[in-house]
Structure formats: structure tokens, C-alpha cells
Amino acid sequence: MTSATPSLDRIRVGSAPDSWGVWFPEDPEQVPWRRFLDEVSQAGYEWIELGPYGYLPTDPARLTDEVSSRGLKVSAGTVFTSLHHGPPVWDATWEHVSQVAALTRAMGADNLVVIPSFWRDDKTAEELEPRELTAEQWRHLANGTERLAREVREQYGLGIMVHPHADTHIDTEEHVERFLDATDSGLVNLCLDTGHYAYCGGDSVKLIETYGERIGYLHLKQVDPAVLSDVVRNGTPFGPAVRQGVMCEPPLGVPAMEPVLTAAQGLGVDLFAIVEQDMYPCPPDQPLPIARRTRQFLRGCGA
């Protein structure tokens, strides 16, 4: 007799524009925002992220109408930063962050996902800056992130969730642990993206078990090991790797979702687990069937 699938009652599952091939506020290769909202609801999700600022309507009243009419709610907004460059970038960073944070707060969400800037161009592979930060840049990154966390919390009531990401300076296990050890656990938490962490050689379950108090948000994603092997061998940048299909539909890749979700449930806190499958660009009819299958798969995992 098999045991019943455990209930993951602390995990709130959602999806994001990324799973519909959306990377930019405007792009002719992306599905229109109304179609995304229609289809994410049809696929059985209740929670969404805002995606790139300007893709969804930025007027809070209009966006509230559009989202609520489809039975959806917003879990987080997303910002991009280059805080390792120190105080000279603060004003421009805050201008961007404050726009997104205001909309995120107006939509009733509590989280702001913070993605570091890329060290190489995700399309051309041009090296924009060295892959490794200097000691001074690590200090700027830690201090700037803590400042950002304080300002966002004080002015907008949001918590920041820093997203380790391929082709950024917070990517590998070594870099993620260095960042966590350098920042205040009372201010700075992680958005653990299981796909990006696996892409960069990390073990999501180990990270949850070791730094559980710092895991404040999840992105559920898998990588295709065969494609990843080719990407690593050839030094392929992230954008072309996505076009090669490095991020794949669960449960076809790694890491296995069940152990990750079980470890997250074991933290004893409520966590969003937002499905993302990077596939920019993609045919417009591709995302919805994948989203439906993925939602069904996660239900089978107890989420």
C-alpha cells in the first residue's frame, strides 16, 4: 500500500510572464499581456508576478481590475540592479526600484525580487565586466543590498528577495554563500530559483537545509542536463542557452521538484513557489499546454 502524497500546505504555487516567453516590457515576439493573464488563469494558477515593469499595465486601478477579474493575485514585482558598482549607481537604481515597488505594494504583494546585473551580454556573449568581483565590489554589493532592503521596507513595506541568476555575480554555490554571509539575515533573503541554481552547479535542497532562514521565496524551474552539459562545454551565454532549450518542462529535468518542495515545506513558513520556464522566444501557442501540465504535475507533488 502506497502512502498518500504529503500536503505541502505552506507552499503557494503561481506562475509568471517568464513562463509565457516574456522577458521585456515590449517585444513583438512576446504574447500580449491580456493573453498571458487569460492563459495563466486557464492553466489553474492563482498567483502571478508582475514580470518586466511595463509589460502589464502600470496603473494600479486598471491592473487590479484586469487581475481580479481573472481570479488572480500578485505575489511579487521584479527589479534589476548593479549595486556592486557602489554609491554612483544608487540614484538610478532607486528610481527604477521605487516605480516597481509602488506598483507591487498597490497590488497587495509583499515581495520584491532583486536580480543582479549580467556580467556578459545574454545575447551577444560580449563580456561587459569581469566575471569575478573584487573585494571592494563585494562590499559595495552587500552594503548596497542592505540599504536597498531598508529603504524598500521603510517606504513600501516590502521584503527583498535576491535572485541568484546565471551570468551574474551571484550564481554559484560559492558566490551565493559569500553573499549570504556578507549580508544581514534580518534584511536580505533569497529568491531561490531551482533552475538557475542547478544551471550554476548548486544543490537547492542543500541550500534550503543549510540556509533555510534566508530562503524567502522560490522560483520552480528545471534544466535539461544534456543541454546544460553542452552549454558548459562551449561557454554559451544564458540567452542562447535558453534558445537551445536548457530550461525544460518539469519533471523532465533537474533538480527533482519533490525533494525541493519537501525541504521548503520543512522550513515551517509560508512560501511562494512561482513556476518559471525560461523560453524566450517561443511560439505563442506553446506556453499554455506546458503550464497546464506543470500545474497538474505540482498538484501530484502535493502543492
Nearest partner of 37 among 13, 61, 64, 76, judged by Cα: 64
Enumerate the domain spans of the chain: 9-299
d(CA 182, CA 132): 16
Give yes or no for residue 301 having a pLDDT over 70: yes
Residues 6+ apart with CB under 8 A from 46: 12, 13, 14, 71, 72, 73
What is the per-residue pLDDT for 1? Answer: 38
Average pLDDT, the chain: 96
The CATH T-level fold of domain 9-299 is TIM Barrel (3.20.20)
Helix axes 135-156, 173-182, angle to 10 degrees: 60
What backbone phi and psi angles, to 5 degrees, belong to 56? -85, 160
Check: CB of residue 10 under 8 Å from CB of residue 272.
Answer: no
Give the three cell numbers for residue 145. Answer: 543590498
What is the per-residue pLDDT for 124? Answer: 79
User: How far apart, in Å, do the first and last CA atoms of the chain sit?
Assistant: 22
Least confident of 5-9, 80-84, 104-108, 172-176: 5-9
What is the per-residue pLDDT for 4? Answer: 55
Binned at pLDDT 50, 70 and 90, residue 7 comes out as confident
Binned at pLDDT 50, 70 and 90, residue 2 comes out as very low
pLDDT in tens, 83-136: 999 999 999 999 999 999 999 999 999 999 999 999 998 777 789 999 999 999
d(CA 188, CA 159): 8
H-state helical runs in 19-170 = 33-42, 60-68, 90-106, 135-156
CA angle centred on 214, ends 213 and 218, rounded to 5°: 110
H-state helical runs in the chain = 33-42, 60-68, 90-106, 135-156, 173-182, 194-199, 204-210, 225-234, 238-243, 257-265, 287-300
Number of other residues whose CB lies within 10 A of the CB of residue 134: 10
